[in-house]
């Protein structure tokens, strides 16, 4: 598998602060790599270093097999970036904005016109081409932002939290668009702190915290890092503590908590944990409202690795 990005021993220091600490990773051709981490974990700094927007303190960065420098215009030609903040001209219409940013890469008018049209269709802005950005809703603005970043049909796309503060309809539209880009052959680096998006979209995940990689692999591989295998939650009123002690006696159980009428049982292993729990409740004659079983999420992994939630 070809590596589109190769980062080796990357360090970025701001005086005393080490924003990135000896980071090494690869991005494979055609994959969607999720860069997960809470705010301040070093996701954006990593991207800015990879794109040569920031000078690195140490380490090497190769994109498409060549060293990335501020004047690597040939490499830049193949890259598209969608930043977290909307970056468009208020003075230009939707069409003019996409055409301008596409024009920074594509000089041929006929090709550009087609590319701009494709980008508009991809993000679903056909009905808004003559609108100025100030007339667009937050979700539509995000879509415009994406269209401006991908109109030139880049082979490598960086998406920095593109779905922050967007409505569900726009979010679905954006996620569908990203899948389509990958299907068209683009390699995507996707930073977010929405783990559900990562699970839907990403082939591989890198979990970052304090500028260091805590874990990397496919989502399944990363989830295996979690100590628990299954979580069972039961909505039950006034549960006596003696029952909790009884549940703890099960050798498969790792942890039991009961707060605000919700019983949470984390299992290390076991194939019939949900059935066992239902039978236990029946046997003890405990009345419950709802019972649910879940596999561990990336957030659980992150919680275990760092002791904090991804969105903290």
Please give the residue ranges that form the binding site for other proteins (CB under 8 A).
Answer: 51-55, 70, 73-74, 76-77, 79, 81, 83, 85-89, 91-92, 96, 99-101, 103-105, 107, 148-149
Give the nearest distance from C-beta 109 to other proteins in angstroms.
9
The nearest distance, CB 216 to other proteins, in angstroms, is 25
Quote the CA–CA distance of 61 and 69 in Å, as a whole number. Answer: 9
Which residue, 107 or 241, has its beta carbon nearer to other proteins?
107
User: Residue 71: CB partners within 8 Å, gap ≥ 6?
Assistant: none
CA separation for the pair 91, 212 (Å, rounded): 41
Give the tokens for residue 121. Answer: 């269709």
Measured from the CB of residue 69, what is the shortest distance to other proteins in angstroms? 10
Between 54 and 129, CB nearer to other proteins: 54
Say if residues 214 and 255 touch (Cβ distance below 8 Å): no
Minimum separation from the CB atom of position 148 to other proteins (A): 7
In our burial notation (b when 16+ CB lie closer than 10 A, e otherwise), range 203-230 reads ebbbbbbebebbbbeebeebbebbebbb
- Which CB atom, from 100 or from 288, has the smaller least distance to other proteins? 100
Select 106 or 234, whichever has its Cβ closest to other proteins: 106
Of 102 and 265, the one with the shorter C-beta distance to other proteins is: 102
163: left (phi over 0), alpha (psi -120 to 50) or beta: alpha
- Measured CA to CA in angstroms, residue 111 lies from 94, 99, 108, 145, 310 at distances of 18, 11, 6, 20, 42
Min. distance of Cβ 174 from other proteins in angstroms?
A: 18
User: Shortest approach of other proteins to residue 288 CB, angstroms?
Assistant: 51
**Cα angle value 305/28/180 (rounded, 5°):** 100
**CA torsion angle 24 29 32 35 (round to 10):** 10
Nearer to other proteins, 48 or 173 (CB): 48
């Amino acid at each position: 598998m070809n590596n589109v990005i190769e980062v080796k021993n990357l360090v970025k220091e701001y005086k005393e602060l080490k924003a990135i600490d000896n980071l090494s990773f690869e991005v494979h051709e055609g994959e969607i790599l999720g860069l997960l981490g809470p705010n301040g974990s070093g996701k954006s700094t990593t991207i800015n270093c990879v794109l040569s927007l920031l000078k690195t303190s140490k380490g090497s960065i190769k994109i498409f097999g060549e060293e990335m420098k501020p004047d690597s215009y040939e490499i830049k030609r193949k890259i598209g970036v969608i930043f977290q903040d909307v970056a468009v001209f208020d003075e230009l219409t939707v069409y003019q904005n996409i055409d301008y940013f596409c024009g920074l890469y594509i000089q041929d008018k006929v090709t550009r016109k087609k590319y701009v049209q494709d980008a508009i269709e991809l993000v679903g802005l056909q009905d808004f081409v003559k609108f100025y950005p100030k007339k667009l809703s937050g979700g539509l603005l995000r879509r415009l932002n994406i269209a401006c970043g991908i109109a030139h049909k880049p082979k490598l796309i960086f998406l920095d939290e593109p779905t922050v503060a967007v409505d569900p309809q726009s979010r679905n539209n954006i996620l569908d668009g990203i899948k389509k880009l990958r299907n068209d052959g683009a390699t995507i680096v996707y930073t977010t702190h929405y783990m559900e998006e990562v699970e839907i979209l990403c082939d591989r995940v890198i979990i970052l915290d304090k500028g260091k990689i805590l874990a990397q692999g496919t989502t399944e591989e990363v989830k295996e890092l979690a100590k628990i295998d299954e979580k069972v939650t039961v909505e039950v009123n006034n549960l006596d503590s003696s029952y909790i002690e009884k549940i703890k006696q099960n050798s498969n159980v790792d942890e039991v908590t009961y707060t605000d009428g919700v019983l949470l049982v984390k299992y290390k292993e076991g194939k019939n944990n949900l059935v066992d729990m239902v039978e236990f409740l029946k046997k003890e004659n405990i009345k419950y409202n709802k019972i649910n079983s879940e596999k561990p999420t990336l957030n659980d992994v992150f919680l275990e690795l760092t002791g904090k939630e991804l969105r903290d």
